[in-house]
Each structure stands twice: as structure tokens, then as C-alpha cells.
Structure 1
Amino acid sequence: MGHAASKPDPNAKFRVIGAGLSRTATTSFGAALTELLDGPCHHGGTQLLCSDESVIKRWIDVFRKTPIQNEQDKKVIHTEIKSLMDGYVGCTDLPGNAVVEELLEIYPDAVVICTVRDPEKWWQSIRPIVENANFTVLSWILAPVPRFRYFRTYHDALDEGNFGKAHFKEGEKKMPSAVTYERHIEYLKRVVPKDRLFFFDVRDGWEPLCQILGVPVPKDKPFPRLNDAAAVEGIMKSGIKQGMVTWAGIGVTAAAGLYTGLRMARIL
């Protein structure tokens, strides 16, 4: 996790559906799962933007078939999600937290753990991104960059699919707001059996998480304290920088071609 995608381990058993929203310490939670369950964890943002481009394209195809309308789509979606998640001990953040119902069916022995924080602090953390991000400009900048060029398409598919259905009411602008956090909690309580749903605040450390998972508490090892915002923003900044450099190169090449063409026209 962090700035590198985790590699699947064929011996890993999928045990935890991390259902917390972004900015609820999902990166720290993923690192804790890796430690406790001795296997790689699928942290959504990192896996999407640091893996082969086919990964984000496959998730786009999944969400375009949601909400599931028929058995054929259900079979395709379940097969694809399983292929993407097998080899990990669990998942955190998007896109996993938007396919909780599907993951419950695919992995009947898994538990759902939602990382939590104060709703108001969560909104203050994510509000600047929601209100200040210009996705049109960002899409142009990222257009020549592998994986990142599908970022807008991916989010549109989320909003039109499962995530939008669970978090936005008909007629509302499809954009996170101060009520999104509570709607997410309500969604989980609605679709997850009570005996499989747990809420966890990373500030509480190892003990409650180990109790949920039925594993020993690590000795002399501090609970991971990683920064969700820094982890994903670092990846995005790298993509934006790459896009700007690429566009600059395209501009120089185009200018050189135009100059050469004009000189040749004069000669001819």
C-alpha cells in the first residue's frame, strides 16, 4: 500500500470486507490487516492507480453493470470481482466499499468492518476535494497518462452504479456531501447481517480489531498510523506531474513539427 500496489498471494484467504469510506484511516486499517492476517490487503486507490491499466478498466466494467439487473450480469460481476480480490486477505476503501453486498455473497465467511471517525471531521477532511476539484481540467491533464486517464470515467461509473444508488437520492447532484457519511452507515446496516457487521475506530488500537478477527494482539508492535490523504494525494500528484510533462512534450513536438513544416514550405 502507500505508493505501491500490493501483490496478490495465492495462499491468502479473503477474510475482511473493509467498508469504511475514504478518509477513515483505511490505509492504516489495511496495514493492520496485513500484519494480523499475514497477507496482502487490497487498498482500492493504490491498487487502481498503481497497477496495470487493465485493473481500473475492469472495475469500470463492473460498475457499469450495477445495480445488478439480472442473473447474467450478476454472474459476470461476481466472477470479475472474485478475480480482482482473490489473493488478498481483505480490502479497504473504494471500490470494495461500493460492492459490499456482492463481496458478502462471493466470500460467505468474510466479515464486514467499517472504519469510523467523527462525521463532522470526516466532512471537513473531504470537503476541500469535493468543492474545489475541477474534474474537467483534471481529466484533460491526465488524458495522456496510463491508468489515470480513466479516473473520471471510473468515478462516473461509480456514481451511476452501486455507490450512487446507496448515497445519493434521486434528483440530487451526484457528489459527496455532509450527509454521505451517515447514509453510508445506514446502507451497511441495511445490507449486512448484524452478526457480520463491525465498526472500528483505529484510535482504539489493536485490541478491538483482534477481538473481531479472533487473533492474538501483536506484542511490542505499535498500531500502524498512516495518512490516508497523503497516500492517495501523493499518487495523484505524481499522475498530474506526469500528465503536465507529457503535454509539455507534446507541445514541443508539435511546435517543432510546425516549424519544420513552415521551413519546408518556404523551401518548396
Structure 2
Amino acid sequence: MKVILAGLSKTGTKTMCAALSILGYDVYDWMENFYYLGDNWAKQFREGFRVQDMKRMYKNVNAVTDAPCDVYWEEIFEAFPDAKVILTERDEKGWIKSFQSQMDELNNNFNFRLIRTITYTGIKAQFHMSRVARHVGVARTWPFSDFVLYHDETLIRFKRKHEQRVKQVVPESQLLIYRVKDGWKPLCDFLGIEVPSIPFPHKNKGGTVLDQYRKENPVMGRMQNELRLSIRCLFVVFALLVFQLFRSFVV
């Protein structure tokens, strides 16, 4: 583990995931943490966090971003004390607005509702999100109901306390306080890497993370394939039921 992004969701985590990937890091963002380590995180939530588990989970991973690693950055840092920590910051009003936009997208996107209701991977993702939700500023809900943000002031207090803790714990030489608008130079200087020749990425503008995942993430592609298969299976079952009903009337 070389880089821990301790900035909360909606402070530019998708942009940072893309930037770190461009710089050559093997990054585990939200989707990778769910798909490859979801069962491990569930065990941690049930039984408590152990350094040896974190070391095992992330021994071959260069960097982590987004939930649940942003909230549990300190447990990861305890397992990898030589890692560099980046705290992405954002103005509170814009952060709340973006967070709400993200929740609206997750709640109102019909395609994603189908995925998390009738596909194997989608159902697993939904239960993972429900477990993580209460740890990252979202009210825990029944797995297939809406995600609801805590009150704005509660979220802001959570954000302030979180950022203060990062600044208190991480040695100054290992910590970068960063805003994504700062671009490549301060990030690359901190990591000791030459500035790339390509423009700095800007991902998930306006909270459209599902569109990004559909285009770029193979796990979401798998969910889409499972959705198509599930719909076909449901159609076949429905057709058989109609056929049996028709036969009963004919007979």
C-alpha cells in the first residue's frame, strides 16, 4: 500500500482514482472494494478491525479511494504506516449538494434498481452498500429501499471531525491536503512522480457515477450482462406460466 485517499466521498474521489491510475498505481475504488473484498469488509464490520486482516486484504494493492476506505483510512494506515495519505477537501455546501445528487441518482435510476433487485452481483452489491451506508453518512435502510442522507448539519460535523482526525494523526511529511482543482503538480511533487503530459482527469461531474461505471468498470458490465440474462429468464418463466394457464382453460 503506497497511497491512502482519506478524503470522503464527493470530494473528488473518482477523479483521484483516475489520476492515480494514470500515474501507474493499482487502485481499489468503491467497486473493487465491493467486488474483490466485500466479504472481507463484512467480516470486519461484524468482528472488528484487525491489522493483520488489513495487511492481508491490501498486500497487493497500491492505492485505495472512496468508501469504505475513506472512513476507515486510519485502520488501513495502521496496517501500512509508511503509506502516503491524501486528504481531498471541498467546500461544505458543494459537498452536501453533490452527495444529495449522488443519492438521487442511486435511488431514481431504474436500470440500477433492476440490477440491485434481480441480479446476483447486484443483490450482493446492494447488501454491501447497505452495510457500508451507516458508516459513511447515509442512513441505513432496508436493502432495497432508498438511501437517505443524514441531516446536513450532522454530515458537516462528521466531515469536520473526519478531516481534523486525519490532520492530527498523519505525520506532516506523509500528508497532502489537496483539492482536485490544484491539478497534477502538487500531487506529483508529493508522490515523487514526474508530471504526465496528459490533462488532469475530471470524473463524476454532477454525481453521474453510474454512467461512468457503465462505460468504464467491468464489474458494472458484468451486472448489466446478468440483468439481460435475468430478464430473459423471467420472460421464459412468464411465458411458461401463460402457456400452462392457457392449457388449463383449454382442457
Measured at CA, do residues 128 and 206 of structure 1 come closer, stay the same or move farther in structure 2, by a change above 3 Å? closer
Displacement of 1:146: 2.9
Displacement of 1:42: 1.4
Q: Deviations over 1:11-40 (max 9, x none)?
A: xxx11111122222222212322343x331
Distance in 1 of aligned mates of 2:160 and 2:72:
14
Displacement of 1:100: 1.0
- Tell whether the 8 Å contact from 1:112 to 1:198 is kept in structure 2 after alignment: yes
Give 2:161's aligned residue: 186
Counterpart residue type for residue 208 of structure 1: P
Give 2:128's aligned residue: 154
Distance in 2 of aligned mates of 1:62 and 1:174:
24
Give 1:11's aligned residue: none
Q: Deviations over 1:28-61 (max 9, x none)?
A: 212322343x33111223x146x4xx53333233
Give 2:66's aligned residue: 93
- Percent identical residues: 25
Distance in 1 of aligned mates of 2:246 and 2:27:
57
SS in 2 for 1:223: coil
SS in 2 for 1:222: coil
Alignment of 1:87-126 (within 5 A): 87-126=60-99
Counterpart residue type for residue 10 of structure 2: R
SS in 2 for 1:95: coil
Give 1:227's aligned residue: 204
Displacement of 1:97: 0.6
2:117 paired residue among 115, 132, 143: 143
Give 2:143's aligned residue: none
Unpaired runs of at least 5, structure 2: 140-146, 215-219
Give 2:28's aligned residue: 42
Displacement of 1:244: 6.0
- Tell whether the 8 Å contact from 1:139 to 1:152 is kept in structure 2 after alignment: no
Counterpart residue type for residue 201 of structure 2: P
Unpaired runs of at least 5, structure 1: 1-13, 69-73
How many pairs does the alignment contain? 232
After superposition, the CA RMSD in angstroms is 3.5
Counterpart residue type for residue 57 of structure 1: D
Give 2:232's aligned residue: 249
Give 1:25's aligned residue: 12
SS in 1 for 2:120: coil
Displacement of 1:262: 3.2
Displacement of 1:263: 4.8
TM-score under structure 2 length normalisation:
0.73
- Tell whether the 8 Å contact from 2:85 to 2:170 is kept in structure 1 after alignment: no
SS in 2 for 1:23: coil
Counterpart residue type for residue 81 of structure 2: P
- Tell whether the 8 Å contact from 2:9 to 2:70 is kept in structure 1 after alignment: no
Counterpart residue type for residue 222 of structure 1: P
Displacement of 1:246: 5.0
- Asked whether 1:57 is paired with 2:39, we answer yes
- Tell whether the 8 Å contact from 1:113 to 1:200 is kept in structure 2 after alignment: yes
Distance in 1 of aligned mates of 2:98 and 2:180:
16
Counterpart residue type for residue 119 of structure 1: E
Measured at CA, do residues 256 and 238 of structure 1 come closer, stay the same or move farther in structure 2, by a change above 3 Å? same
Q: Deviations over 1:144-200 (max 9, x none)?
A: 32322123322332245x546xx88xxxx9734434255224224225335244321
SS in 1 for 2:25: coil
Distance in 1 of aligned mates of 2:117 and 2:6:
30
Give 2:241's aligned residue: 258
SS in 2 for 1:215: coil
